[in-house]
Amino acid sequence: HVQLVESGGGSVQAGGSLRLSCAASGFTYDQFCMGWFRRVPGKEREGVASITRVGGDTTYYGDPVTGRFTVSRDNDRNILTLQMNSLKPEDSATYYCAAGLIGDCSLTPSSVKNYKFWGRGTQVTVS
């Protein structure tokens, strides 16, 4: 069965860095769009970063993280990574890994609907 397991969350001071990983199994990883999303209690889920299938030639970022976060994928190890630099307190959230088979892999509202598989999340706290 499909599994997405996030790791790497934790507490960090503002200006610091964290590297999140998502281990994927149970599906043909390189054929899926992969994305990172985050949610703060009481707020809507927010698209953070996503990457296209196979070679991952195209990446998409939410405006708040552009220039600070980098998404990448390892299709040999079925791992999705999010490198987060220059972290700010407003980056504090639960971060989720997601996979989608169809669509353009972007973070538009219509594309986000195509992400069908989700991990349980990892908490990031920036103080």
pLDDT value of position 94 = 98
Write out pLDDT tens, residues 53-81. 887 789 999 999 999 999 999 999 999 99
Structure tokens that stand for 94 in this block: 């639960």
Write out pLDDT tens, residues 90-122. 999 999 999 999 888 999 988 889 999 999 999
Strand (E) or helix (H) holding 71: strand 69-74
Structure tokens that stand for 63 in this block: 């405006």
Write out pLDDT tens, residues 9-57. 999 999 999 999 999 999 999 999 999 999 999 999 999 999 998 877 8
pLDDT value of position 115 = 95
